[in-house]
A = this chain, B = another copy of it.
Amino acid sequence: MAYDIGKTELINLYSLETLKQFSTDFLLALGATDEEAAIVTDGLMTASLWWHPGQGQGLEKFFRFYRQIKNGGIVPNAPMQWVREGPSYALLDAAKGFGYVSAHRAMARAIEKAKVTGIAMVGVRHSNHFGIAGYHALHAAKHGLIGWSFTNAKAEMAPWGSAQVVLGTNPWGIAIPRKDTHAIVLDMALTMSGKGMMRWYMNEGKPMPDSWALTPDGAKTTDPAAAMEGPLLPIGEYKGYGLSLITDVLAGVMTGSLFGLKVFQDESHHDVGHVMLAIDPGAFMPREEVDARLEQLIAEVKGAPPIDPARPVILPGEVEFKRMAQREQDGVPLSRETVEGLRGLAEELKVAFPL
């Protein structure tokens, strides 16, 4: 089965099981341990089920893994170490390991601690791109806690009033567990949009909103091509700039990773930092009461009449969980370009290629 999304890419659908097996085999061939392969595969599968192929968070990540493992930027079976620990905090040195793995271990530790103390913060230094922020937040929600993940990232945002990039999109994931149904999952960059989305608009020949990015000399524009080398604009103007700066303080400055202009610049040494928060929603009252009160708030939110009757109000993450259910049934989309690239890698690594 194939379908066309705009002019950009031709897409085929593949079963989740097939992709899982391929991902696991591929990661093992790259030197990942069984545990690492399982964690990274789970993250990539979630990204593949939630996000669009053009967003580069699914199996497209393998191209980067391959390059970075070759150039030493990612170390499989990395000797990660816990370097600091207190009642409600800990710091993991990721030793250049997979970002999915270090962030997963950090959130697991935050969950353990928050169950005892009410809230915990676990930092990660010397890590790599951790995938989608919402995935790590959801990890906490699956254990009944609120999760909040922060990461720094390559400079793509300018301080407010400048056009020179210094700060990253510094994505956040926040997840609130619900009883008997999917969590609320807010997965967001601190910019209005990203270069990938702008490229899609450019390829489609569409104008973009002028709140997305500036030209390199700081002018507003609706032409994605004119802003491709310019800074992305933060959410809420100076507010998002402030949030991005604060995120880099938490994830970069405090943890001991690179930050600002230096993080994520040299592919053999991205040195990304993360922070994971876990919060016990039942710290202040019996959990059943919190759960009931949450459903009451959600009913108020979802009861708000939509402006367009065809588009009812949805919760953060709701689109993604619907997409996930559909793709689990119909298959996961991968662009032909990605599949061809993966075929090449599979041949090189002598991994079975079932796509």
Interface residue from B162, B289, B312 paired with A313 (Cβ < 8 Å): B162
Chain B min CB distance to A74 (Å)? 23
Contact, CB under 8 Å: A249 / B176: yes
Tell me, yes or no, whether A259 is within 8 Å of chain B by CB: yes
Interface residue from B84, B88, B167, B245 paired with A87 (Cβ < 8 Å): B88
Tell me, yes or no, whether A140 is within 8 Å of chain B by CB: no
Given A188-B242, A236-B236, are A300 and B89 neighbors across the interface (CB < 8 Å)?
A: no
Contact, CB under 8 Å: A300 / B86: no
Given A117-B88, A254-B283, A279-B121, are A246 and B301 neighbors across the interface (CB < 8 Å)?
A: no
Q: Contact size class for A?
A: 35 or more
Copies in the complex: 2
CA A86 to CA B121, docked complex, whole Å: 16
Contact, CB under 8 Å: B121 / A120: no
Interface residue from B119, B280, B293 paired with A259 (Cβ < 8 Å): B293
Stretch at the interface among A28-36, A63-71, A303-311: A303-311
Contact, CB under 8 Å: A186 / B243: yes
CA A302 to CA B235, docked complex, whole Å: 20
Contact, CB under 8 Å: A300 / B261: yes
Chain B min CB distance to A19 (Å)? 28
Contact, CB under 8 Å: B164 / A290: no
List which A85-103 residues lie within 8 A (CB) of chain B: 86-89, 91
Stretch at the interface among A153-161, A264-272, A343-351: A153-161
Considering the complex, give the chain B residue whose CB is closest to the CB of A253.
B293
CA A60 to CA B64, docked complex, whole Å: 57
Which B residues touch A254, using CB under 8 A? 281, 283-285, 290
Which B residues touch A211, using CB under 8 A? 211
1/0 per residue A314-355: CB within 8 Å of B? 111000000000000000000000000000000000000000
Write the residues of chain A forming the contact surface with B, with a CB cutoff of 8 angstroms: 84, 86-89, 91, 116-121, 123, 125, 146, 158-164, 166-167, 174, 176, 184, 186, 188, 190, 192, 211, 214, 217-218, 235-243, 245-246, 248-250, 252-256, 259-261, 277, 279-281, 283-285, 289-290, 293-294, 296-297, 300-308, 311-316
